Amino acid sequence: MSLSNHQEEVILDILGLAHQYNFIELEAAISDYLKEILNTKNVCTIFDAARLYNLEFLIKFCYEFMDKHAMEIMEHESFLQLSSSALLDLLTRDSFYASEINIFLSVHSWVKANPHVKADDILSQVRLSLISISDLLSVVRPTGLISPDAILDAIAINTQTRNLHLRHRGFLLLDENVVHPRYGAQVLQGEMCSYLLNGDTENYDIEKGYTRHTITDNLENCILIKLGSQCIINHMKMLLWDRDERSYSYYIEVSMDEKDWVKVIDHSQYFCRSWQYLYFKPQVVLYIRIVGTNNTVNKVFHLVNFEAYYIHHNEKLVNGFIAPTNNIATIERSACVTEGVSRSRNTLLNGDFQTYDWDRGYTCHQLNSGCIQVQLGQPYMIDSMRLLLWDLDNRSYCYYIQVSGNSKTWETVVDNSKELRQSWQTLRFSPRPVVFIRIVGTHNTANEVFHCVHFECPAQISEAKSPGSQKTKEAIRDTEDLTVNHQIPQPSLSEASNEAVNTDRENDRSIENLDCSLEEGSP
């Protein structure tokens, strides 16, 4: 049966029969077809039918369409045929965006077209406090739909309540970057502002490719963005200039009128670097103000790219900070190793906890000198960590771990300085905002160097322990049984260069022999 040969009324009748007799596949097929033909003329009829038959997927699709085309839908005659319950649901949505006076006038037309329907609940969803005082008096009052007391209350709220506390409406564009020139966004303030919204996150250096402002206590020194229209957002993503190891501090505020501001992100007391992934409660926004408060190199705040979205996400927020469930100590999440010796700078964070030996695959520091330090891209609410101590023989280590938000004030969260520890370490502590993690080795039963193969936070406890680690231990036990005087080469800090290990050729041959036995004995 071809649905395109039938009128919409017939298709909706067939949908009703499919629902009545529980023909699930037919019901789904008709719903998909209705999605394809949805337009401003038929959406109200289809929306009512979808609600009647409780077709959640089709209802959601209609909501999204109506949010984007609110004004056109209210102007069409089919709007007057909406059921009262459907209209009520529509008006409760913050994302059903049109000027409130136009919404009132459309509701007024609906009330006149449906004189036998009690409209008190529907009228209560018109946000009178968003209508100007002149329109309340000259347009709303003469209709007689709203009582004089309600109009006076709306005027009082309009004049006495902070703008950000009003229930604004705004466009909701799911997964769309609304801070983009195609949506009319523009940078109103900031030096070299043409770079910020051009989408280029590759071609920037010390001289170009970023927008900046001087860091002072004056709020006029900031980066200010105006959206093309007021939008609902709950996520921002931005790239701090990261061609060296500097860090920045900042906060972000949003506003509807450029007078009354609400702070949605406050990283002013924390050091941040590179890409920032920011989440907050949904806000209706017209202006965004990014204020840099610190640069560890100079007094200028540099921002390469900025984006804002409304997205569906599972990030948990605690006191304004993300409490992650996935490992955020990764290169992809802007983390880096700032102290410690290894053949590759970020070996500790590359996620490889199976490929390591006596020569490579770990990060180390000399006991009683230095540490291993990791910097996360931004502050996260952390309550656990997991690390793998080098474990290719029976040695044990002692260590402690400190955390900080700005590398100045430190607090100890783990103290194993008097306990011998081996291999995998899963560590838990009370949650707190963390940017820097400092791992300090205090003892090694084999030599004077502390070695760490892998680090993650929060602890990914679902992952199995390193198979390579277990295979190596079994192979070492076999080797000890077969050789009496064989010495397993020990890791040592290079005395001649910044390389992690300086192993002579004889030890290299021993390692190669051991590697072969591991491969032959692996399961």
- pLDDT tier at 1, thresholds 50, 70, 90: low
Residue 200 C-alpha from the chain's centroid: 20
- pLDDT tier at 502, thresholds 50, 70, 90: very low
Q: Which residues, in sequence order, are CB contacts of 220 under 8 Å at separation 6+?
A: 189
User: Looking at the domain 176-313, which fold is it?
Assistant: Jelly Rolls (2.60.120)
Which residue is associated with the tokens 């919409």? Answer: 8
- pLDDT tier at 20, thresholds 50, 70, 90: confident
Q: What is the pLDDT of residues 377-387, one digit of tens each?
A: 999 999 999 99
Instruction: Name residue 14's amino acid.
Output: I
CA–CA separation, 402 vs 414, rounded Å? 7
What radius of gyration do the chain's Cα atoms show?
A: 31
Of 32-36, 127-131, 408-412, 502-506, which range is least confident? Answer: 502-506
CA-based end-to-end distance of the chain: 58
- pLDDT tier at 491, thresholds 50, 70, 90: very low
Is 42's pLDDT higher than 80? yes
In this predicted structure, what is the pLDDT of residue 317? 96
Cβ pair 438, 401 in contact under 8 A: yes
Averaged over 105-116, what is the pLDDT? Answer: 96
The tokens describing 245, both together, are: 């190891």
CA–CA separation, 290 vs 272, rounded Å? 14
In this predicted structure, what is the pLDDT of residue 5? 64
In this predicted structure, what is the pLDDT of residue 514? 29
The tokens describing 77, both together, are: 């005659």
Of 154-163, 349-358, 499-508, which range is least confident? Answer: 499-508
**In Å, what is the CA distance from 321 to each residue of 37, 240, 309?**
43, 18, 18
Of 197-211, 331-345, 493-507, which range is least confident? Answer: 493-507
In this predicted structure, what is the pLDDT of residue 412? 97
CA–CA separation, 249 vs 18, rounded Å? 59
Classify domain 331-456 by CATH number.
Answer: 2.60.120.260
In this predicted structure, what is the pLDDT of residue 446? 94
- pLDDT tier at 236, thresholds 50, 70, 90: very high
Q: Which residues, in sequence order, are CB contacts of 283 under 8 Å at separation 6+?
A: 232, 233, 234, 254, 262, 264
pTM (2 d.p.)? 0.84
- pLDDT tier at 164, thresholds 50, 70, 90: confident
In this predicted structure, what is the pLDDT of residue 209? 97
Q: What is the pLDDT of residues 65-104, one digit of tens each?
A: 999 999 999 999 999 999 999 999 999 999 999 999 999 9
Angle at 37 between CA 34 and CA 38, to 5 degrees: 80
In this predicted structure, what is the pLDDT of residue 15? 87
Of 5-9, 243-247, 500-504, which range is least confident? Answer: 500-504
Sign of the alpha-carbon torsion through 335, 336, 339, 342: positive
Count Cα atoms within 13 angstroms, Cβ side, for 92. Answer: 8
**Best CA proximity match to 330, nearest among 300, 296, 353, 309:** 353
- pLDDT tier at 332, thresholds 50, 70, 90: very high
CA–CA separation, 202 vs 417, rounded Å? 44
Averaged over 301-317, what is the pLDDT? Answer: 96
